[in-house]
Chain A
Amino acid sequence: MSHINNFKDLLLFEIQKAFYDERGRGARYRLTTAGVSYLAEHLKEKAGDINEVKAWLKENGFVKNIEFEEEMVSLKIIVDSCCLISIRDYFDSAGMQPLGCPIANVFMNALELKSGLSPELLPIKFNGGVCELTLAKMATSDVVEGMSK
C-alpha cells in the first residue's frame, strides 16, 4: 500500500479518535450516517435493498465477500476483507471498538428505508480479516422474553 493510502487511513483513525476524545462515547452516534450518501447517490432507489447493497460493495471492491444471517430482531453481516480494515486495526491497536462502520451504516440505512426504523450496531467482533457486524432491529420489549438470563 502506498504512503498516501496509509496516511489517509491513519488520518481517518486520528480524526475519529480526536472526536472520541472530545465527545466521549456519544461520538459513535454522530457517525451513523457516514458513507450513506455515497452509496445512495450510486444505488439510488436500490439503496434500500440489502442484496443490491451487498452486490454493489462486492462489485466495486469495497469487500471480498458478505454473508447475511437474519433473525427476528437482528441482522448479522459477516464482512470479509473490507477496504477499511486498516482503520479498524488502528482502533484495535488502541484498545478501542471502532466508533462506527460505513459498511454497517449503508446496511442500517437500507433497513431503515424498508421499515422506517433505524437499527443499532452492536460491538463489532473481529476475526482476522473478517468483521462480524450485528444490527439490532428496533423491535418491541417482547425481545426480552426468554432471553433475560
Chain B
Amino acid sequence: MENKREVFYQVIKNRRSVRKYTDTKVSEEDLQLILESGRQAPSGENAQPWRFIVVRDKRNKDFLARIGKNASGRRFTGEFLSKQMHERFKGLEDEEKRALAFKKLTSGDVSGFVSEADVILLILGKKDVWDAPFDTSAAIENMLLTVTSLELGACWLVAPCIDIRDELKMKKHFEVPDDYKIFAIISIGQPAKVAGPRPRIPLNELTFSEKFGEPYYK
C-alpha cells in the first residue's frame, strides 16, 4: 500500500463539485461502496439517522432538476434584483464575464444539471435525532471522498432542500414520511469535465490560538 497519509490527503485534495457528466453508468459495485461509506460515518449516540434514496429513473431525475433549477434560479434572481449579486462580484471587472456569471446563476443551471448524472442520491435524516444535520453531513462527506477515490464525480446540492416549499414538493414526490427531512441531494456520475481547485482561505486566516482572532499561524 502506498503511503496512507499521502493517498488519503490526495483524495481530499482531488475532490471537486462535478456538474458535467458522460453517459457512462456507475456500476452497482461502486454505488454500493459509496453507500457503504455513508453508512460507516460517525453519528451522535450511534443514532445513524441517515436514509438514502437511490434515484436512477429519468422522470425522477428530471423532477429533481426542475426543483433545483427553480430553487437556485429564484434565489439568485432575488440576489440579482436586490444587487447583492453585484456586490458579491464587484471584484470581477470584465463586464462580459460578469454578465455571464449573473446569467448562469439566475438561470438556475448551477442546480439544474443534476439529471445529467447517472445516479442521484437523496440524503434524508430522522428529525427526532438531535444531531441529524451533522450526522448526515458526515455521511455525505464520506460518500464524496469515496466517489473521488473511485475516479467518479459528484456534486453535493442543498439548494433544492433549503426552502421548505421545495422540500415539501420533493417529500410528496418521493413519498418521504413527515418524520424525515431531506437534507441534500448528491449527483454522481463519470465526470465529463473536472474543474480546477477553488480558492481556499489560508490556514493562518481561519485558525486561531486560544481565542478568536489571535492567529495560530503567524
Which A residues contact B (CB, under 8 angstroms)? Answer: 26, 29-33, 73-74, 112, 117-123, 134, 136-141, 143-144, 147-149
Contact B107 A74 (CB under 8 A): no
Contact A121:B78 (CB < 8 A) given known A141-B106, A144-B103, A144-B106: yes
Besides the known contacts A74-B81, A136-B80, 6 further A-B residue pairs in the complex with CB atoms under 8 A apart: A30-B164, A120-B74, A120-B77, A137-B77, A138-B73, A144-B102
Which A residues lie within 8 Å of B168 (CB)? 33
Distance to closest chain B CB from A74 (angstroms): 6
Contact B165 A112 (CB under 8 A): yes
Which A residues lie within 8 Å of B99 (CB)? 144, 148
Q: What are 9 A-B interface contacts by the 8 Å CB criterion?
A: A30-B163, A112-B165, A122-B78, A122-B81, A136-B82, A137-B77, A144-B106, A147-B80, A148-B102
Contact A143:B77 (CB < 8 A) given known A118-B70, A123-B82, A149-B95: yes
Which B residues lie within 8 Å of A119 (CB)? 74
Measured in the bound complex, the distance between the Cα atoms of B102 and A93 in whole Å is: 33
Measured in the bound complex, the distance between the Cα atoms of B95 and A119 in whole Å is: 27
The answer, yes or no, to whether B171 is at the interface (CB within 8 Å) is no
Distance to closest chain A CB from B98 (angstroms): 6
Contact A118 B163 (CB under 8 A): yes
Interface of A is mostly: loop
Distance to closest chain A CB from B1 (angstroms): 41
Total chain B interface residues with beta-carbon distance under 8 A = 24
Measured in the bound complex, the distance between the Cα atoms of B166 and A143 in whole Å is: 22
Which A residues lie within 8 Å of B74 (CB)? 117-120, 136, 138
Distance to closest chain A CB from B101 (angstroms): 9
Which A residues lie within 8 Å of B58 (CB)? none
Measured in the bound complex, the distance between the Cα atoms of B194 and A36 in whole Å is: 43
Measured in the bound complex, the distance between the Cα atoms of B103 and A139 in whole Å is: 11
Which B residues lie within 8 Å of A141 (CB)? 73, 102-104, 106-107
Contact A122:B70 (CB < 8 A) given known A139-B77, A143-B106, A144-B106: no
The answer, yes or no, to whether B47 is at the interface (CB within 8 Å) is no
Measured in the bound complex, the distance between the Cα atoms of B120 and A8 in whole Å is: 44
The answer, yes or no, to whether B150 is at the interface (CB within 8 Å) is no
Distance to closest chain A CB from B105 (angstroms): 8
Which B residues lie within 8 Å of A122 (CB)? 78, 81-82
Contact A144:B165 (CB < 8 A) given known A118-B74, A120-B74: no
Contact B77 A29 (CB under 8 A): no
The answer, yes or no, to whether B127 is at the interface (CB within 8 Å) is no
Which A residues lie within 8 Å of B102 (CB)? 141, 144, 148
Contact B165 A73 (CB under 8 A): no
The answer, yes or no, to whether B162 is at the interface (CB within 8 Å) is yes
Contact B78 A120 (CB under 8 A): yes
